[in-house]
Chain A
Amino acid sequence: MYAFTYERPKNVDEAVKLLKKAKDGKILAGGQTLLPAMKLRLASPDTIVDLSRVKGLSGIKASSKAVTIGALTKHIEVMGSAEVQKSIPALAHLASLIGDPAVRNRGTIGGSLANNDPSADYPAAALGLGATIKTNKRELPADKFFKGLFETALAGDEIIESVSFPVPEKAGYEKFPNPASRFALVGVFVSKSKDGVRVAVTGAGEGGVFRVKEMETALAKDFSAKAIEGIKVPAKNMIADIHGTAEYRAHLIGVMARRAVAAAK
């Protein structure tokens, strides 16, 4: 790792000041993506702003309308939360599929969303449920938050404080893991609510997480696996690598979407 200055602010304002002051400041949440990148010398921030002592960024609040999760809430807390399991079981299920137990003990929802890895799970949930991301500056709908590979709408001194997921009538998440990294080769999150149906795909798109409108339209009419059987996602713009061709990923989107619909509750 390159040397850096370590800061541990007590509140968000202080953190923002430190980020502004730094030449290349990075926020440390759970560190499960940032630290490996720094170890491999792929990231070289001059300042690390560790949010672990900032109060109020962790925890889960549920109402009949929405589940709101603090940015520093760990994956293990989301998967184990009785409220999440009751209101949006697909979200708890998704959290249980991230990384491995030790990673889930450290990794956070805010860190995952801010990083926007094209194979990460949470972006699928955020987009698939139409979540709202609340930062120290504004509230951003998921549809406007994700901007491509590892790119989000966040400004350099903007910090995610919480994420609010509307409670759907039904939702499901199916993930086909990459055999090596265990990130999603393809993950599909589907939800049905009074605002409509959402189908969000992670792992497959060259531009990161995306929605499949054709499936959404079909599912809005008939929320069943059968309804999307004939829909083929084009292989264009799909990731192609040693783990799967673009055609294979496109095909898997259909399979995972059907299974997610079938499993939705």
Chain B
Amino acid sequence: MSATGIGAAVRRKEDQRFITGTANYTSDISRPGEVRAWFVRSPHAHATIKKIDTKAAEKMPGVVAVLTGADLANDKIGGLICGWAITSKDGSPMKMGAHPAIAADKVRCVGDQVAVVLAETLNQARDAAEKVKVDYAVLPSVVDPAKATAKGAPQIHDVAPNNQIYDWHIGDKNATDAAFASAKHVTKLEIVNNRLVPNAIEPRAAIAEYDQGNDALTLWNTSQNPHVARLVISAFIGMAPEHKLRVIAPDVGGGFGSKIFIYPEEVVALWAARRVKRPVKWVSDRSEAFLTDAHGRDHVTHAELALDADGKITGLRVRTIANLGAYMSTFSSSVPTYLYATLLSGQYAIPNIYAEVEAVYTNTAPVDAYRGAGRPEATFVVERLVEVAARELGIDPAELRRKNFVKSFPHQTPVIMAYDAGDYDASLTKAMEMVDYRNFGKRKAESERKGKLRGIGFSTYIEACGIAPSQAVGSLGAGVGLWESAEVRVNPTGSVEILTGSHSHGQGHETTFAQLVSERLGVPIETVSVVHGDTDKVQFGMGTYGSRSGAVGMSAISKALDKIEDKAKKVAGYMMEASADDIEFKDGKFTVKGTDKSVGWGDVTLNAYVAHKFTGGQLEPGLKEGAFYDPTNFTFPAGCHIAEVEIDPETGKTTIANWVAVDDFGVIINPMIVEGQVHGGIAQGVGQALLEGASYNADGQLITGSFMDYAMPRAGDLPSFKVDTTMTKCPSNPLGIKGCGEAGAIASPAALINAITNAVGHENVPMPATPGTVWKAAQRAVMKKAAE
């Protein structure tokens, strides 16, 4: 391993600009002549729009234009779409309601945009927005997914009777029912997977600029996938031809899924910029972010696990209602189906699985992928069931897991996935050692002496990342391919530019991708630059989500590097009058096999461009290669998290006493960055389990509309984590990488709730397990103890 190659904890190249305040986020950009946009948003969860009067607003100081949904429709700007088609049990397609970028006839959630005000300053736009008179006829609303399909519930989209988007299933119902019929023990749980607000610390933003001379548009936005944004805005929304639309996602301050999606505001900014012929800048504030960013999770699930007399799992049966909110966001349909139910086998050999998922509309913000996307929900179901089953059967939870682990690979689950490699026992065993499981009883007794409750909980999770092959996801309804692209440009002086379709918004690609190049070409990482996030610079790419940038994005780079190496060997061959087949390339040096004849990297790159040693007929000049990499399978990161908590039964306060994570991510490029991803993921999972929960009242008002009411994890809420890895190589990509971005968020909620329920001695602890909730649960434990 070189100091900057694969496996080295290289300090991040991109940090210089972030630590000196010289980064360039969308909201930092200011275009000459720009106007500021502010949206008029619905205060009602559900209402028809009878009339919009913009006259008074237009007369306000500094106002440039006030635009409505009618203007948008007149200009034939199309609505937003969901790009993954799901088919119901009965063969019918999902019911996608129209989603105009500005509502014209009806609003379906609080925060729905009904007009946009453009003014010279932000305050002027906000002042004028208050003068836009919207005459609403308020309709009854529904926010609870479990009630959305009830008789008499308000109808949100005409195309979706009873608010049902689809009623989908997977697995073999009859076989699963039979397994339950003959089961020795059945564990049942009612689970609510709480709704979360992603809250990347950088709020969304968009600046749109229209170039009249070229009839072209440029959009700077906070996107995880600028090419996908361009494609959708061009092909489906009809804003401009793809080659006349440039999308730039500069430094992006966190995404966690919420910046994958195409949002109304960026569409409106583009359209408005062309209408007023001035750059339009929109920056969300946090209150707007709470109302309009796509939320995550929000499942209501009934789950059952069947076991035989030996504690072997024989079946798993799940019925889930998934809340997709008021509109179908870009990939919303795939999250509770193919990203969720396909992972219900967990790390276990379960012969029979059957899952039904009903997706519904409600008068709430759209729900889409949020860190983990479907897989945290699946892990929570499986890992809670297994833990509770172990408790009910009086078996050590680690033992019950071991008994049921998948032990030979490849392993085909009954729900599509073919696990390719893993060693689940290894990560469990290591985690148990690290947490000192053996002495947990002593620690529990010590806590009890202090009047505290102590509990321990496991989560042996699996996820599927690098979502692909494209043909496979296409057959499951995806509207796009899920490959990745790369171009490697070697300059005459030997420095290297990597153009990647992946997008970094905190993941450190500028460092890890450079490490790969350094490893392969033997060049210092300082001479490698990574270019991403600009559709005018980079070839079409799919962006960053689903922990795919390593496994898919870097594999594309690796493929392009193969081609670079081949070509460079040819150049070297001509330079040394040898056949390319006889050239060896190692540590940046080209050597003729069996001789001491060699040339260096810089000589070869220069010769590739001066082209003095070969004719155009023999070899094309230059050294630039591209590749598209389409994986042959998903990747399957897996591991074990163990949480240990201490609870103050008097206040219900939960303190995390110990957190151990042992993950198998396959080959690791930069352990420092990987550990950082694990830490952040755990924090988000702890947030879900202990603190966070988006809550609407019956009228569809978001009660948790700011950090004053939505509890974000702070430094003081978390411990330092003990993180380690085990390794089985991923066989399906050239680098052996599995992906690490979501694991922490997937594993941790179940570990924590398992620990809390272990401490309080019963299973009824909903998320978020706030102090008030845990106090109530602990009271039952205290009373039970007193009764004994």
- Please indicate whether A and B come from the same complex rather than being unrelated chains: yes
Q: In the complex, what residues of A have CB within 8 A of residue B770's CB?
A: 179, 243-244
Cα of A3 to Cα of B123 in the assembled complex, Å: 8
CB distance from A258 to the nearest CB of B (A): 9
Given A179-B771, A248-B776, A251-B775: A242 and B650 within 8 A (CB)?
no
Complex interface: stretch among B249-257, B414-422, B472-480, B700-708: B700-708
Given A40-B287, A176-B651, A179-B691: A242 and B709 within 8 A (CB)?
yes
Chain B 707-721 interface residues, beta-carbon cutoff 8 Å to A = 707-712, 714, 717
Chain B 593-608 interface residues, beta-carbon cutoff 8 Å to A = none
CB distance from B515 to the nearest CB of A (A): 37
Cα of A181 to Cα of B706 in the assembled complex, Å: 9
Given A180-B707, A180-B710, A242-B703: A248 and B123 within 8 A (CB)?
no
B444 at the binding interface (Cβ < 8 Å): no
A41 at the binding interface (Cβ < 8 Å): yes
Cα of A252 to Cα of B779 in the assembled complex, Å: 13
- Picked from B287, B704, B711, B772, the residue with its CB within 8 Å of the CB of A248 is B772
Q: Is the CB of B708 within 8 A of A242?
A: no
Cα of A40 to Cα of B72 in the assembled complex, Å: 29
Q: Is the CB of A244 within 8 A of B772?
A: yes
Chain B 91-132 interface residues, beta-carbon cutoff 8 Å to A = 123, 126-127
Could you mark each residue 153-184 of chain A with 1 if its beta carbon is under 8 Å from any beta carbon of chain B, else 0?
A: 00000000000000000000000101111100
Given A179-B691, A181-B708, A242-B703: A255 and B772 within 8 A (CB)?
no
A2 at the binding interface (Cβ < 8 Å): yes
Q: Is the CB of A181 within 8 A of B123?
A: no
Cα of A241 to Cα of B472 in the assembled complex, Å: 47
Could you mark each residue 197-233 of chain B with 1 if its beta carbon is under 8 Å from any beta carbon of chain A, else 0?
A: 0000000000000000000000000000000000000
Q: Is the CB of A252 within 8 A of B651?
A: yes
Cα of A41 to Cα of B653 in the assembled complex, Å: 35
Could you mark each residue 1-45 of chain A with 1 if its beta carbon is under 8 Å from any beta carbon of chain B, else 0?
A: 111000000000000000000000000000000000000110000
Cα of A3 to Cα of B124 in the assembled complex, Å: 10
Cα of A226 to Cα of B523 in the assembled complex, Å: 72
B695 at the binding interface (Cβ < 8 Å): yes
Q: In the complex, what residues of A have CB within 8 A of residue B693's CB?
A: 242
CB closest residue in chain A, given B695:
A242
Cα of A45 to Cα of B147 in the assembled complex, Å: 43
Residue of B127, B693, B771 with highest tally of chain A CB at under 10 A? B771
Q: Is the CB of B710 within 8 A of A248?
A: no
Tier of interface size on chain B? 20 to 34
CB closest residue in chain A, given B768:
A179
- Picked from A3, A40, A182, A244, the residue with its CB within 8 Å of the CB of B771 is A244
- Picked from A3, A178, A255, the residue with its CB within 8 Å of the CB of B650 is A255
CB distance from A250 to the nearest CB of B (A): 12
CB distance from B778 to the nearest CB of A (A): 11
Chain B 550-608 interface residues, beta-carbon cutoff 8 Å to A = none
Main secondary structure of the interface of B (DSSP, over half): loop
CB closest residue in chain B, given A258:
B650
CB distance from B167 to the nearest CB of A (A): 31
A237 at the binding interface (Cβ < 8 Å): no
Give the A-B pair count, Cβ closer than 8 A: 51
Q: Is the CB of B711 within 8 A of A180?
A: yes
CB distance from B524 to the nearest CB of A (A): 41
CB closest residue in chain B, given A41:
B126
Chain A 25-69 interface residues, beta-carbon cutoff 8 Å to B = 40-41
Chain A 206-265 interface residues, beta-carbon cutoff 8 Å to B = 241-245, 248, 251-252, 255
Cα of A245 to Cα of B652 in the assembled complex, Å: 13
Q: In the complex, what residues of A have CB within 8 A of residue B651's CB?
A: 176, 252, 255
Q: In the complex, what residues of B have CB within 8 A of residue A251's CB?
A: 775
- Picked from A40, A41, A180, A243, the residue with its CB within 8 Å of the CB of B772 is A243
CB closest residue in chain B, given A3:
B123
CB closest residue in chain A, given B779:
A251
Residue of B126, B653, B770 with highest tally of chain A CB at under 10 A? B770
Cα of A193 to Cα of B359 in the assembled complex, Å: 63
CB distance from A2 to the nearest CB of B (A): 7
Given A243-B772, A248-B772: A181 and B650 within 8 A (CB)?
no
Given A2-B127, A255-B650, A255-B651: A176 and B708 within 8 A (CB)?
no
Q: In the complex, what residues of B have CB within 8 A of residue A243's CB?
A: 709, 770, 772
CB distance from A152 to the nearest CB of B (A): 22
Cα of A71 to Cα of B327 in the assembled complex, Å: 51
Cα of A242 to Cα of B776 in the assembled complex, Å: 14
CB closest residue in chain A, given B693:
A242
CB distance from A16 to the nearest CB of B (A): 29
Could you mark each residue 764-788 of chain B with 1 if its beta carbon is under 8 Å from any beta carbon of chain A, else 0?
A: 0000001110011000000000000
Could you mark each residue 663-697 of chain B with 1 if its beta carbon is under 8 Å from any beta carbon of chain A, else 0?
A: 00000000000000000000000000011010100
Q: In the complex, what residues of B have CB within 8 A of residue A241's CB?
A: 703
CB closest residue in chain A, given B703:
A242
CB distance from B191 to the nearest CB of A (A): 20
Q: In the complex, what residues of A have CB within 8 A of residue B126's CB?
A: 41
CB closest residue in chain A, given B713:
A179
Q: In the complex, what residues of B have CB within 8 A of residue A41's CB?
A: 126
Cα of A179 to Cα of B718 in the assembled complex, Å: 13
> 20 new A-B pairs (CB below 8 Å) besides A179-B711, A245-B772?
A40-B287, A41-B126, A176-B653, A176-B771, A178-B711, A179-B690, A179-B770, A179-B771, A180-B707, A180-B710, A181-B707, A182-B714, A242-B695, A242-B709, A243-B709, A243-B770, A248-B776, A251-B775, A255-B650, A255-B651
Q: What 10 A-B pairs have minimum CB-CB distances, sorted nearest first?
A: A180-B711, A179-B711, A244-B772, A181-B708, A248-B772, A255-B650, A180-B709, A242-B695, A179-B691, A255-B651
- B binding-site residues for A, Cβ under 8 Å: 123, 126-127, 287, 650-653, 690-691, 693, 695, 703-704, 707-712, 714, 717, 770-772, 775-776
A-B contact pairs, 9 of them (CB 8 A): A179-B691, A180-B691, A180-B710, A180-B711, A181-B708, A242-B709, A243-B709, A244-B770, A248-B776
- A binding-site residues for B, Cβ under 8 Å: 1-3, 40-41, 176, 178-182, 185, 241-245, 248, 251-252, 255
